[in-house]
Amino acid sequence: MKADLIKFNDLKEAILKLNEGLKERKSELERDGVLQRFEFTFELAWKVVQEYAKYQGVEVASPREAIRVGAELSIIEDPDKWFVDLQNRNLTTHIYDAEMAEKIFQEVNGFAQRVSQMVVEIEKSDI
């Protein structure tokens, strides 16, 4: 039934690309590429949670709600860190500051680990 989670395979591919970028980063341009991959991966992650929740009979309308519901459904661990990821995604999407970009970049590895764990939890589930 995981095949019914339309964006699930896209998310797994995005995580691979994000991890690849984290290993390869050498320049400011590559850092910016990783941040763009982070934004894209975060978007897919919350939309996968939205789809997963729908299969559980729960409607989710926003990333913040997806984090909360994902934690309730035991596919998201440490929602407080996910809320920081959401804040970082919002900052990278709407404002660009080199110092802030570097700070957020330093936190992306933690996000990559969290979203990978979410994928593991979904794969262990019954849907």
Domain ranges of the chain: 2-124
Q: Span 77-98, mean pLDDT? A: 92
What kind and span of H or E run contains 92?
helix 79-94
CATH topology of domain 2-124: Four Helix Bundle (Hemerythrin (Met), subunit A) (1.20.120)
Residue with tokens 């998201």: 76
Res. 3: pLDDT tops 80:
no
| Mean per-residue pLDDT, 54-70 | 97
pTM for the full predicted model: 0.92
CA distance linking residue 14 with residue 42, whole number of Å: 9
